[in-house]
Structure 1
């Protein structure tokens, strides 16, 4: 038993690797947009549509895969999802046809949606009592690293090999597929044990207080905040590089490098955010993050000095990512009997919903300029801050 518990401590690192191999494709999709615009003369709205269709299909299937994770213990679905995510992204450089690009990003988006609910659920199951935030932080750090490497891999592979360089995204997908094969049995056993424990808890609660009762009203409030952050995340990842290129008159490589720096800072903040939230409270961390992001973005959009704008990436990226892990943990605690579904919403739709609205931001950018689009994002952050103030704090359930 002790040996099994010892192994549990390392599962989150394997899952963090998978998260990186999955989310490297999300970072790549945003970074490839300037190359697509330059090569095929797409406008902002059309380019943003690629992000939308990818995440629209991902958002549709995300709750489905979350429900599957709750009802069926299928850890192999994570490896399949990562393979589809990388395969779809690899195909984006092989066609200039808009519908072909749509098909490629749809496959990639569905693959990403397949990975997140099952993986986040397993991270929660393997985390120690009162340290779920730390576990999710490690998991999210892997995803942030993947998002950071996405633009780097995009720029380097395309500059070296042309648009066909996107085939390089098959490498991380195959890597996780091979590594995860050695852990499928462990993940399967972990899931079966959790289901057995949950069944025992429900049976015991029939004669006592329902400690594991789902709090759907609180979860709905959380969703409002999550969707606000989703718009912020997708808006920044889609338009940040373009802002440096079009408004601050920097090169494409500089713009993508700025996006990579933004993701890197966010990764460090996400790694620390969960542990800080474990100590001081998840709802407080969420509120503070939005309170910092809003004025930082306003300052970013009012300058035309690229050095000052680069400096503002630090508070913006850190503030955006500090709320990541607390939201996932709160979702699982609000719905302890539907952790897969909760993870699919807070971790999966946290990307998808905002991307579906990217054409609205794209329209604002086309009609009023990129600065106007960033002001819209700032307004969303203010609304998310307001909604976060109504989230109830939770008490973790003890684990044996």
Structure 2
């Protein structure tokens, strides 16, 4: 009987996560429309992605540290609303500075959400990797829905219709409130996980390697998110529809990849599955850059699988490496390392303006290889010799 409210809470948290991460995906989905409707250069469009990421990257560790000290469940519905309102204001007025400010506000909302959400989901799941996988799946579905939502609203009503994009935030805030009622009052941080604390110390060395690998993954993911729609449209001549489909394929892989990641990890171990995923990403991104025509979609799908299979595994590994700082670990692996990729996007945009998108995307092939090298020496948390 006690499991029913808990299961409902995980479901509500997962759906709420989808309603938040739809706004992370929306910023990249808006880029082609900003380029076509406002004639932004690649560098200017990159600045929009950067604005969504910069403040988010700075404040995310702060929110993680605060979540470890004081439970702040009220942040879930509030941050969901802030993330949605920011994106909804993107099309209000044509000022570039106001557009940057709007996506920056959205980025802060997203940053505030993830550390506390990861902590609440950990408590609701009782440490279950499968339940955390479902929570992560919600975020990935939100990413996947973003290009469809943005296209449906902006392609029909133009950027001025962007206020309609606030609707998922309203639903997400209600879902977060319902989830929190099901989880119940938060436990004191010092008593949250006595069994885990008794089992070992925070392994900062392993966590740093994991974080470095996920940053590499983040730059590839955000770089592709920002430019794959424009790149596929350019390489296939398929217009806006071709670009939207490519971005949808990139994000949709998150659903299949996150579910597959949990099952593969149960069979082969988390570290091995994460290593395989990064190796696959090297080949997939090389295909995106080098292979012309409709086959691009195949390599976009493979890149999606390689990027998303380890997604929920990053979160649980990070939390197990830092059992006494679950909020910090969740904020870094689930939030910071997604937003930090946006810091590299202006460099990609500048290279695209100076040469071409193909030349600008080529360096992304090396990053998952670097991530794989960082992961080579990692062991499962708690294994003798780790850290």
Shorter-chain TM band: over 0.9
Deviating beyond 4 angstroms after TM superposition, the runs of 4 or more aligned structure 1 residues are none
Secondary structure of the corresponding residue to residue 357 of structure 1: helix
Cross-structure match for 1:217: 205
How is 1:362-381 mapped onto 2 (pairs within 5 angstroms)?
Answer: 362-381=349-368
Aligned mate of 2:88, from 69, 80, 90: 90
Matched, 1:327 2:314: yes
Aligned mate of 2:277, from 289, 295, 310: 289
Aligned mate of 1:59, from 53, 57, 60: 57
Contact 2:21 2:143 in 1 (8 A): yes
Contact 1:78 1:119 in 2 (8 A): yes
Contact 2:119 2:330 in 1 (8 A): yes
Cross-structure match for 2:288: 300
Aligned mate of 2:331, from 322, 331, 344: 344
Taking the aligned partners of 1:180 and 1:344, their CA distance within structure 2 comes to 17
Q: In terms of mean alpha carbon deviation, does 173-182 or 137-146 score higher?
A: 173-182
Contact 2:17 2:172 in 1 (8 A): no
Taking the aligned partners of 1:261 and 1:60, their CA distance within structure 2 comes to 30
Cross-structure match for 1:241: 229
The answer for unaligned runs of 5 or more in structure 1 is none
Contact 1:74 1:188 in 2 (8 A): no
Aligned mate of 1:179, from 175, 179, 185: 175
Taking the aligned partners of 1:195 and 1:118, their CA distance within structure 2 comes to 16
CA gap 1:349/1:197 in 2 versus in 1, 3 angstroms: closer
Taking the aligned partners of 2:230 and 2:95, their CA distance within structure 1 comes to 22
Q: In terms of mean alpha carbon deviation, does 70-79 or 335-344 score higher?
A: 70-79
How is 1:1-400 mapped onto 2 (pairs within 5 angstroms)?
Answer: 3-128=1-126, 131-132=128-129, 134-189=130-185, 191-192=186-187, 195-198=190-193, 200-201=194-195, 210-305=198-293, 307-395=294-382
Contact 1:230 1:349 in 2 (8 A): no
Contact 1:21 1:146 in 2 (8 A): yes
CA gap 1:275/1:11 in 2 versus in 1, 3 angstroms: farther
CA drift at 1:96: 1.5
Taking the aligned partners of 2:184 and 2:104, their CA distance within structure 1 comes to 28
Cα-to-partner distance string for 1:284-310 (whole Å, 9 max, x where unaligned):
1111001111112212222221x2111
Cα-to-partner distance string for 1:35-80 (whole Å, 9 max, x where unaligned):
1111111110111111111111001111111112111111110111
Taking the aligned partners of 2:377 and 2:232, their CA distance within structure 1 comes to 36
Taking the aligned partners of 1:123 and 1:143, their CA distance within structure 2 comes to 13
Taking the aligned partners of 1:388 and 1:126, their CA distance within structure 2 comes to 29
Taking the aligned partners of 2:23 and 2:172, their CA distance within structure 1 comes to 13
Taking the aligned partners of 2:314 and 2:178, their CA distance within structure 1 comes to 30
| Count of matched residue pairs | 383
- The two structures, once aligned, show a CA RMSD in angstroms of 1.8
Taking the aligned partners of 1:194 and 1:22, their CA distance within structure 2 comes to 25
Q: In terms of mean alpha carbon deviation, does 143-152 or 175-184 score higher?
A: 175-184
CA drift at 1:128: 4.5
CA drift at 1:195: 4.5
CA drift at 1:197: 4.3
